Amino acid sequence: MDIKKILAELTLEEKAGLCSGDDFWHLKGVERLGVPSVMICDGPNGLRKQNQAQDNLGINDSIRAVCYPSACATACSFDPALMYRMGEALGKECQAEEIAVLLGPGANIKRSPLCGRNFEYFSEDPYLSSQMASAFIQGVQSQGVGTSLKHFLANNQEHRRLTVDAQIDERTLREIYLASFETAVQSGKPWTVMCSYNRLNGEYVSQDRRVLTDILREEWGFDGMVVSDWSAVNDRVKGLLAGLDLEMPTSYGVNDQQIVEAVRSGSLKEEVLDAAVERILTLINRHQEQRRPQTVFSMEEHHALAREIERESIVLLKNEDGLLPLSKQGNIAFLGRFAETPRFQGGGSAHVNACKVVGALEAAERDVNIRYAPAYSLTNENEDGALLAEAVKVAKEADCAVIFAGLPDSFESEGFDRTHMDLPENQNRLIQEVCRVQPNTVVVLHNGAPVCMPWIAQVKAVLEAYLGGQAVGEAVVDILFGAANPCGHLAESFPIKLSDNPSYLNFPGEKDRVEYREGIFVGYRYYDKKEIEVLFPFGHGLSYTEFEISNLRLSAKKIREDEPLTVTARVKNIGARAGKAVVQLYVRDVHSTVIRPDKELKGFRKVFLEAGEETEVTFPLNRRAFSYYNTEICDWHVESGEFEILLGQSSREPAVRDSIEVEGIVSLPKHYDRNSTLGDLLCDEHARPIIQKLMKEVGMDKQQADFKLGEGAAQMKMASVYGMPLHKLVSSCDRKVTWEEIGAVLKDLGGSL
Ligand code: BGC
């Protein structure tokens, strides 16, 4: 396709028309110029290709497709290579179905456990989220199919998502919410980015030039197409000016007409429209050049991959007395409807018409004798006495009870948020009653986000399966009976109770305004800093074997911020079975003058080790690992000083640590005026002699010399001198300093009165 030539031949109306969809899933084509209409579809954990009735909420039917585990699960694999393979498989499926772009992955941060769509997102941590999203994108796109990184930006709740205004300060945006997309854009290089519905600091993201152009394109180098979330356009012309290329789905010509009129009236330069059209044509061309409609794939093989991915993602949260893995010979009870019909995916646009679903009961019964009781109703939370009694009886007669619990569809979905973190009442009751008669109780959870576990002390083992895709039952059985060794680690913290969560007081906001008052303290950044006990910390995950991390080495004891650092350590499988360890690297700024989290994830490695085997893991770190975002210089900044490198298997248990001295090379601008404190001035090498001289002249140096640390009064005096603004010297000393003298000092320091 000769894009420039086509662009030159298109009429204004055709160009405006190309900027919105033809219907729900197709871009428009231009037949007379040989531009085809291409199809895109949801995403992200399976294809939701709708051939007939179309919708964005997963209500109408779509083709039969493989349903892979949702991002809430896959993030726990801590395995970008696995994400890449999942992407590759989805890419093949898209090729076979002639899909140009798969709408995903979602890289929004899990700000609150209540967000109804958390199941579609990876993590509360931007580093992990961005790494996983990036691998997914690369996997899909390796097959010549595009992705749409979504929902950019700050779409962290479903409540009033079309209108809510997220108020987020710049540092928080940069360190948390933008960071979750940044690597995904820069290394993943998605063909498209989908803007979100909401407003951010007063402006709809769909028409926010700073977000869609200044940051996305100019700072991060994004060269693809920006598409609106479905019906996210507010003012179409403003959107174009901001960098929103394609509106989806169709606006039935209404917004196209606005574009035409704006160009005619001169309020929209035709070059802006041309740039958008060129990006849309580039996307269509990419698809044309790389389409392979003859692609075939085996649903069985992809089902097996879905099983493998889930197996690698399930998190063993608790395993007292080594209850798991279970012996196949035992007399085992499976309790709960989810054993038979698991909840394996979330509701809304990500909802896939799964080609087959295997529950744990069906999978286990292939070679284990199981007694099953449905145990609870999914439609009525008020416990059903007969179902409960039967389940308790079955549990009592067994050697071990495995309860399949979790959230029904009505509890969490796209479109609304949860209002609490509880499991349905009947399920909590079931677990408690079963624990009374059966000491060996295991709970398997099917949920898209953390739940409260009032029964945690009574159960011996908990497996977090999340929304594990169509093969979840087989994967759970693989883990329960030890065919596979659990190796998932939590990509989010599990608070003990909802009110512990940092966003609790400001979620989902008032009317159309939500203030992110917790700032950068999201997830473990908050729990760790506040030393709040959690149910399970970020990064936690047990195994049937044990690993030892040792021999931490840093390539240098001191570096300049622009020098690389390599961190190396040994990991040994000291247990009796083969397994995979997830080694996590956190960085802590030991003495910071800015408020920073206790530690932040800056690297992770997943390694397979036979029993007794050991290996070395290596992490390259660059300046970003040590920086925070400084709003004064509008850039990342490294403060000179000591940083700790912590390696462990969860955020709460560093196994080894070492320190590095990092020298920051960018000094921050200093602004002095009449209100600058003597303390600040005395801390500045350049200002110190000047101020000391001035203090000497007015006799304040003597007062200072009298101060003896440790004495309350002296401390107080010292503090009052340090906290004194410069201008006070004019009126609070025996020998008065004149305004002229203050002015001269400030001039010397590059400031002014
Ligand atoms: C969702 C998107 C989805 C789109 C198309 C919207 O409601 O927010 O994630 O891709 O619909 O179904």
Map out the domains of the chain with their CATH numbers: 299-535 (3.40.50.1700), 547-663 (2.60.40.10), 678-748 (no CATH)
Ligand 1 centroid to residue 63 C-alpha, Å: 17
The residue with tokens 């169509």 is 470
Ligand 1: centre distance to CA 16 (Å)? 23
Say how many Å lie between the CA of residue 56 and the centre of ligand 1.
5
Give the tens place of pLDDT for each residue, 23-73.
999 999 999 999 999 999 999 999 999 988 888 777 788 999 999 999 999
**CA 21 to centroid of ligand 1, rounded, Å:** 14
Q: Residue 346 has what pLDDT?
A: 96
Say what the pLDDT of residue 45 is: 97
What average pLDDT does range 551-557 have in this prediction? 98
Would residue 706 show up in a list of annotated catalytic residues for this protein?
no
Mean pLDDT of the chain: 95
| 464 within ligand 1 shell (Cβ under 6 A) | no
Cβ count near 598 (within 10 Å): 18
Ligand 1 lined by 589 (C-beta under 6 Å): no
**Of the candidate ranges 303-307, 421-425, 625-629, 683-687, the one whose mean pLDDT is the lowest:** 683-687
pLDDT beyond 80 at 368 = yes
Among protein residues, the one whose CA lies closest to atom 3 of ligand 1: 349
For residue range 109-118, what is the model confidence (pLDDT) as tens digits? 999 999 999 9
DSSP label at 106? Answer: B
For residues 523 and 529, give the distance between their C-alpha atoms in angstroms, rounded to a whole number.
Answer: 10
pLDDT band at 207 (very low <50, low <70, confident <90, very high): very high
By C-alpha distance, which of 265, 194, 268, 212 is closest to 237?
268
Q: Are 192 and 227 in contact (CB under 8 A)?
A: yes
pLDDT at position 693: 87
Helices (H), 206-336: 209, 236-242, 254-265, 270-290, 299-313
Whole-number pLDDT of residue 70 = 98
Q: What is the whole-number distance in angstroms between the Cα of residue 349 and the centre of ligand 1?
A: 5
CB 574 within 8 A of CB 547: yes
List of E strands, 158-308? 165-167, 192-195, 199-200, 203-204, 225-228
At a CB cut-off of 8 Å and minimum separation 6, what does 135 contact? Answer: 80, 81, 83, 84, 87, 188
- Atom in ligand 1 nearest the alpha carbon of residue 151: 9
Q: How far apart are CA 54 and CA 256, in angstroms?
A: 21
What is the tens place of the pLDDT at every residue in 624-660? 999 999 999 999 999 999 999 999 999 998 999 999 9
Calpha distance 510→282 (Å, rounded): 42
Q: Which atom of ligand 1 is nearest to the CA of 161?
A: 8
Query: Two tokens at 361?
Result: 């009961």
Greater confidence (68 vs 745) lies with 68
Ligand 1 centroid, distance to 342 Cα (angstroms): 24
The pLDDT assigned to 713 comes to: 79
Is 42 near ligand 1, meaning CB less than 6 Å away? yes
Is residue 68 within 8 Å of 306, Cβ to Cβ? Answer: yes
**CA 291, CA 234: separation in Å to the nearest integer?**
33
Of ligand 1's listed atoms, the one at least distance from the Cα of 103 is: 10
The residue behind tokens 């940092």 is: 502
| 55 CA closest ligand 1 atom index | 12
The pLDDT of residue 719 is: 87
Cα(423)–Cα(443) distance, integer angstroms: 12
Instruction: Assign 392 to helix, strand or coil.
Output: helix
**Mean pLDDT calculated for residue range 603-613:** 98
Question: Ligand 1 pocket, 56 CB below 6 A?
Answer: yes
Answer yes or no: is pLDDT of 278 > 70: yes
Q: For the residues 507-522, what does the mean pLDDT come to?
A: 98
Contact 229 CB / ligand 1 (< 6 Å)? yes
Question: What was the pLDDT predicted at 710?
Answer: 61
Minimal-distance CA residue to ligand 1 atom 11 = 56
Q: Look at ligand 1, atom 7, and give the residue with the nearest C-alpha.
A: 56
CA of 24 to the centre of ligand 1 (A): 10
Beta carbon of 349 within 6 Å of any ligand 1 atom: yes
Distance CA 194, CA 347 (A): 20
Average pLDDT on 404-415 reads: 96
pLDDT for res 702: 64
Query: Region 217-233: what's the mean pLDDT?
Result: 98
Provide the Cα torsion 273, 278, 279, 281; round to 10°: 120
Residue located via tokens 């958390």: 118
Q: Which residue has the higher pLDDT, 127 or 690?
A: 127
Residues near 701 by beta carbon (within 8 Å), at least 6 away in sequence: 692, 695
State the Cα–Cα distance between residues 128 and 481, nearest whole angstrom: 30
Closest alpha carbon to 409 in 428, 424, 394, 398: 424
More confident residue, 532 or 685: 532
Tell me what pLDDT residue 709 has: 53
Chain centre to alpha carbon of residue 101: 22
Q: So what's the pLDDT on residue 513?
A: 98
Tell me the best of 120, 227, 230 to mutate to test the pocket of ligand 1, counting ligand atoms within 8 Å of each CB and taking the most.
230
The kind and range of the H/E element at 78 are none
Predicted local confidence at residue 471, as pLDDT: 98
Looking at residues 179-191, what average pLDDT do you find?
Answer: 98
Q: Which residue has the tokens 């060269």?
A: 223
- % pLDDT > 90, the chain: 88
Q: What pLDDT, on the 0 to 100 scale, is given for residue 602?
A: 98
Looking at residue 706, its pLDDT comes to 53
pLDDT higher than threshold 60 for residue 1: yes
Regarding the beta carbon of 230 and ligand 1, being less than 6 Å apart is answered: yes
* From 42, 125, 165, 229, the catalytic residue: 229
User: Is residue 250 lining ligand 1, measured as CB closer than 6 Å?
Assistant: no
How far apart are the C-alpha atoms of 538 and 515, rounded to whole Å? 24
**Does the pLDDT value for residue 268 go beyond 90?**
yes
Give yes or no for residue 149 CB within 6 A of ligand 1.
no
**152-179 CB burial, b ≥16 within 10 A, e <16:** bbbbbbbbbbeebbbbbeebbbbbbbbb
